[in-house]
Structure 1
Amino acid sequence: MKTSIVLSLALLASAAFSATNDEIITHFKNQIPLSHIQIKVLSRQQISKDLDYVSLHITDGQNNQNISIFTHGDYIFPDAIDLKTGMSIKDKMQRVQINKNIAKVFKAEDPKYIISIGHDPQKETLVIFSDPECPFCKKELDGIENDLKKYNIKMIFTPVHDRSSLAKSYLIYKYIKDAKTDAQKIKIIRKYFESGANEQVNNSNVQKIDTLRQKYFQAGINGTPYKVMEKDLQ
């Protein structure tokens, strides 16, 4: 969006004003040199007694951008850091929102696209969004046996790479449905993580995986592996 640089400058210059929703909107409109800009407050959440987290939607009619800020008294800030943990509160809040978005998609997902490994009712379930050509996902897969000592695992393939990774994901789904054990499922997944897809996959089947991943990209996933506890998707 063309106004992104302007927004960054507006955020860095914390402005003194009474931070009602209307005044936050007015502040940003004054900072963006476009007469047709529209700004809407999507949500406002109190983080502590003195700090609010505000999410905004900005559009010029063609381009759209969501941003989040913090407000304290007459000031706004682009982020806030928890000194006890050293973590960005914005990152934490944005992840909570992404998980809410993912939950809506996950609850309606076709079961054939959710690979379940481990079925211990005493364990929590970890959901992993993965990509057969992602080196970080391969490293994650290398430790899956250890992870299964702590969690049940559900995997969904949402490749960030293109056609060859989509084809591998399709083939994993194609053959894993006949696996009888967790060990067989892991063997099939590893096969396509460690080598190319020797079997041809037509464009129609590649498109099925592309449609699958786009749903989760739109929910906010922008990289793999993305991990979330299933209880946080309820």
Structure 2
Amino acid sequence: MKKQILWFVALLSSTLFAATDAQIVEHFKSTIQVPNITIEVISRKKVDNIEGMDFVTLNLSDGARSQKLSIFTKDDLIFPDVISIKQGGSIKEMMEMADLQKNLSALYKKEDKKNIVSLGNDPKKETLVVFTDPECPYCRQELAQIEQRLTTNNIKLIFTPVHARTSLEKSVLVYKESAKAKNDAEKIAILKKYFDETVSYEQKISDEEVGRIETLKQKYFGAGIKGVPFMVREKELLK
């Protein structure tokens, strides 16, 4: 399910005396009313073709949860987004996607094969990497059409569940059982079993096994994924 930690109301342009990192942080600390919040600037880069404008990404955390926030700054102004008529859309979305793909690429190239459920192996078809969750209703909708999607694409699934412990346990079981599957049909049957909201299971899943999936999830959400299902072309990750 697409979820985000929403701590703040939509931002409006705001004036600052000077948009230094320290002043941007202080501005948002005074704007976001969350106890014990820490805010830090984690990246800052120039925006192409707009002189004097920077794209700034901050990390907001209350100790238990964290969220990235991106804004633009020019002179003494802050903007939540900049729309380019020439480029046909949100510069924020374009820059965030470029950063996300770069971060995901670095992780994906090193990913252990045991954390990937692969379906299809046709070199003529494009491969899609899908980040998913057995208890996400949108992921269930995506899975319902998996046979149709496999007619045009290979698919690689990585489990990054955002729901309760049971979603992590189901992910463990999918990985375990699909590793023993002989073909795609058996893997799909396993996926459909554990994505079914009425499924029950008696296997005991250890804290260590659950922790492995939690670490996998945190790794990719830390790279910038904001929800599931999230899909990206593998060729973009292998550049």
1:54 corresponds to which letter in structure 2? Answer: F
Aligned to 1:20: none
Give a deviation string over 1:61-86, Cα, whole Å, max 9, x none: x8987543334577542201244787
User: Are 2:46 and 1:45 aligned?
Assistant: yes
SS in 1 for 2:188: helix
Q: Distance in 1 between matches of 2:118 and 2:41?
A: 40
Aligned to 1:55: 56
More displaced 10-residue stretch of structure 1: 193-202 or 66-75: 66-75
Q: Distance in 2 between matches of 1:151 and 1:45?
A: 37
1:122 is aligned, of 121, 124, 128, to 124
The Cα shift of 1:102 comes to 2.0
Whether the 8 Å CA contact 1:51–1:70 is kept in 2: the answer is no
- Paired residues, number: 221
Moved over 6 A (4+): 62-65
1:134 corresponds to which letter in structure 2? Answer: C
Q: Distance in 2 between matches of 1:170 and 1:177?
A: 11
1:209 is aligned, of 197, 209, 213, to 213
Counterparts of residues 98-117 of structure 1 (less than 5 Å) = 98-117=100-119
Indicate how the Cα distance of structure 1 residues 91 and 49 shifts in structure 2: closer, same or farther if over 3 A, else same.
closer
2:199 corresponds to which letter in structure 1? Answer: G
TM-score (norm 1): 0.78
Q: Distance in 1 between matches of 2:60 and 2:135?
A: 35
Give a deviation string over 1:185-234, Cα, whole Å, max 9, x none: 11110111113231223233222222221211222223110111112212
Q: Distance in 1 between matches of 2:127 and 2:118?
A: 9
Give a deviation string over 1:160-190, Cα, whole Å, max 9, x none: 1111111111111111111121121111101
More displaced 10-residue stretch of structure 1: 50-59 or 167-176: 50-59
2:171 corresponds to which letter in structure 1? Answer: S
Whether the 8 Å CA contact 1:168–1:196 is kept in 2: the answer is no
**Greater percentage in helix:** 1
Counterparts of residues 9-158 of structure 1 (less than 5 Å) = 12-14=13-15, 23-25=19-21, 27-28=23-24, 31=27, 40=41, 42-50=43-51, 52-57=53-58, 66-71=68-73, 75-83=77-85, 87-158=89-160
TM-score (norm 2): 0.76
Whether the 8 Å CA contact 1:137–1:224 is kept in 2: the answer is yes
How well do the aligned residues superpose, as a CA RMSD in angstroms?
3.3
Instruction: Determine which structure has greater relative contact order: mean sequence separation of CA pairs < 8 Å that are 6+ residues apart, divided by chain length.
Output: 2
Give a deviation string over 1:81-117, Cα, whole Å, max 9, x none: 2447874321232122122222222222210111111
Whether the 8 Å CA contact 2:133–2:161 is kept in 1: the answer is yes
More displaced 10-residue stretch of structure 1: 83-92 or 109-118: 83-92
Structure 1, gaps ≥5 residues long: 18-22
Aligned to 2:195: 193
Give a deviation string over 1:6-60, Cα, whole Å, max 9, x none: x977x6224587xxxxx54365367466xxx986572313333457442244789
More displaced 10-residue stretch of structure 1: 99-108 or 152-161: 99-108
Indicate how the Cα distance of structure 1 residues 229 and 188 shifts in structure 2: closer, same or farther if over 3 A, else same.
same
Q: Distance in 2 between matches of 1:59 and 1:138?
A: 31
